[in-house]
Amino acid sequence: MSSLEITVLSVASLLAGAINAIAGGGTILTFPALLAFGMPAIQANATSTLALLIGIVGSTYGYREHMPAARVWIKKFGVVSVVGGFLGAVLLTRTPNDAFEKLVPFLLLFATVLFMAQNAFRRLAAGEAAAAARGTRHGTLALVLQFFVALYGGYFGAGIGILMLAAFGLMGLHHIHEMNALKTVLATLINLVAAAYFIFAGLIEWPQAIVMTVGSTVGYFTGARFAQRIPQQRVRQIIMGIGLAISIAMFWKQFLG
């Protein structure tokens, strides 16, 4: 790796770790950064997943007080999340690199739109939770939704937390901290099993992964420490702008360049 690549990947992963600690959406930065230095899209996706894993796992600590209340749901949806995440990772390895590169602009745009709409998804989750609390909890539908969220998570991953919050309302959850605790644990399971499979499949570019793991870890703990001092709306606006700009650039490169 050149000194420029090390610098760019370090900065991108540090920012991604901080963004994940504050608002989520760090993949929108790390994945394109790897692509920019010529890494094939599938390897870039796998390497980005591993690089951000420590921050995702560490974030479960922040919700430790709410884990007992979320434990019953973790038991119900943990297996579905692991299976879906594994199958998504397998599906990625079965996708030709050229085909995946053509999907990249759509995946990035989808993740960015999800990020932009996360407040609406939170309101939807709260509304569904209130309705579910009054009646049937739609357990089967929630299981199916979680499976497809996990499948997408293993395949690409950006935005799965936002999708899960919307689905959790169908489970009857209404406490936002418990919902976030459940989301964090299930996202950890999805990313752990996907990263393990990517390692097994030999898709990880280790020099870049090590540099970005260090950067994302520093960024995560810095972001977690100062999260309350940073206007989250401003952070979201910056991420949305970056995501849209990268999506447009990717569409231009793939279809117009």
Q: State the pLDDT confidence band at 69, using cuts at 50, 70 and 90.
A: confident
CA 237 to chain centre: 18
Nearest in space to 58 (alpha carbons), one of 198, 193, 225: 225
Letter for the amino acid at 230? I
What does the pLDDT look like over 106-118, one tens digit per residue?
888 887 777 676 6
Per-residue pLDDT, 157:
78
- Would residue 157 be called left, alpha or beta, if left means φ above 0 and alpha means ψ between -120 and 50 degrees? left
Domain extents in the chain: 3-256
Nearest 5 degrees, angle CA 89-CA 95-CA 100? Answer: 100
Q: Distance between CA atoms of 31 and 54, rounded to whole angstroms? A: 16
Confidence of residue 135 (pLDDT cuts 50, 70, 90): very low
Do 43 and 244 form a contact (C-beta atoms < 8 A)?
no
pTM over 0.85: no
What does the pLDDT look like over 6-58, one tens digit per residue? 999 999 999 888 877 766 678 888 999 999 999 999 999 999 999 998 877 77
Please give the average per-residue pLDDT across 170-183, as a whole number. 73
Mean pLDDT of the chain: 82
Q: Give whichever of 59-68, 133-142, 166-175 has the largest mean pLDDT.
A: 59-68
Which structure tokens are listed for 242?
Answer: 């970056």
